[in-house]
A = this chain, B = another copy of it.
């Protein structure tokens, strides 16, 4: 059994890790860390768990903690303080926060408001979009788990850029997320009275997932890519839908593009390409690790629209983190993750 710890225990990411890891045959949850709640019973904060989890919250002591792997499900600017010591001690880390996603310290500082970890540590982190990952147990010490919007976006765009099919100036990502994407902490934006029966755009041009998307796409395509990325808030708890607009480089039929997506993802158990004319809805992946993709081509104008959904807390966070763990340790890729969507 792999012994693991979870940091950020009072947030949604940790709770979802617990739910999913409970189904995992190869893993034992040894620690759930929460600085602010150390010593408390987890069920005081999360009554839905009652006695189904048998460790209390504790405080992370990087010098003493004794396990194989630690998940960080923390806000930005936290994990960078703990991870250097942990990997020095031989403990692997999967970081669900943004601390190790950007390779360029200046970009990190611009979008996250603080300096990142030292470059030598940053360089050790693998940004692991699970379907296109190159992590391996020998050399990988830190996995930077992708953000929720980037996950939906990059799985959508990967085939197009890999095959050089689109005008790289033309990418527009109109993304919509359920409100759990904002985390469990309090703000006027997530007050039910303000969020319910309301729909809004936010952070136009300033969202920190923009450089993360651009970094991946630029590396993949070998050229500097800028995107227009507009996130929106949907009055629902879970789910992301990204509507992605691109200009095609040349005439491609809807059928041909659809076939290319099918082929690209044929061996990826969590990516499901919908049939032509069908577009996925967020609820159709709720609670699961699936990423469903629908494809539309305006053949007259050589434009394509990719419509992609994930559960932001699963494939967009904790589920993908476990998938990355499975890949890292050679477990079945879907171990702990073969749950069907909760519908309705």
CB-CB contacts of A193-218 with B at 8 A, as 1s and 0s?
11111111110110000000000000
- In A80-136, the 8 Å CB interface with B consists of none
Does residue A52 face the partner (Cβ distance < 8 Å to B)? yes
Q: State which size class the interface on A falls in.
A: 35 or more
Given A46-B343, A52-B340, A192:B204 Cβ within 8 A: no
Measured in the bound complex, the distance between the Cα atoms of B340 and A304 in whole Å is 40
Contact call A204/B296, Cβ cutoff below 8 A: yes
Contact call A279/B200, Cβ cutoff below 8 A: yes
Does residue A147 face the partner (Cβ distance < 8 Å to B)? no
Does residue A15 face the partner (Cβ distance < 8 Å to B)? yes
Contact call B191/A191, Cβ cutoff below 8 A: yes
Chain B, Cβ-Cβ closest to A185: B191
Does residue A27 face the partner (Cβ distance < 8 Å to B)? no
| Residues in B whose Cβ lies below 8 Å from that of A187 | 186
Contact call A50/B272, Cβ cutoff below 8 A: yes
Chain B, Cβ-Cβ closest to A22: B340
Contact call B205/A298, Cβ cutoff below 8 A: yes
Contact call A237/B193, Cβ cutoff below 8 A: yes
Given A340-B22, A340-B48, A236:B198 Cβ within 8 A: yes
Chain B, Cβ-Cβ closest to A195: B192
Copies of this protein in the assembly total 4
Contact call B184/A50, Cβ cutoff below 8 A: no
Measured in the bound complex, the distance between the Cα atoms of B241 and A344 in whole Å is 18
- In A1-60, the 8 Å CB interface with B consists of 12, 15, 18-19, 22-23, 46-52
Chain B, Cβ-Cβ closest to A341: B48
Contact call B243/A201, Cβ cutoff below 8 A: yes
Does residue A158 face the partner (Cβ distance < 8 Å to B)? no
Given A199-B236, A200-B282, A48:B193 Cβ within 8 A: no
| Residues in B whose Cβ lies below 8 Å from that of A72 | none
Contact call A18/B340, Cβ cutoff below 8 A: yes
Does residue A303 face the partner (Cβ distance < 8 Å to B)? yes
Q: Which of A48, A179, A186 has the most CB of B within 10 A?
A: A48
Contact call A298/B200, Cβ cutoff below 8 A: no
| Residues in B whose Cβ lies below 8 Å from that of A282 | 197-200
Q: Which of A19, A50, A226, A280 has the most CB of B within 10 A?
A: A50
- Identify 5 residue pairs between A and B in the complex whose beta-carbon atoms are under 8 Å apart, listed by A's number: A47-B284, A48-B284, A196-B236, A200-B282, A237-B344
Add 6 more A-B contacts to A199-B239, A200-B241, A200-B281 (CB < 8 A). Answer: A47-B278, A176-B199, A179-B193, A197-B286, A199-B234, A238-B344
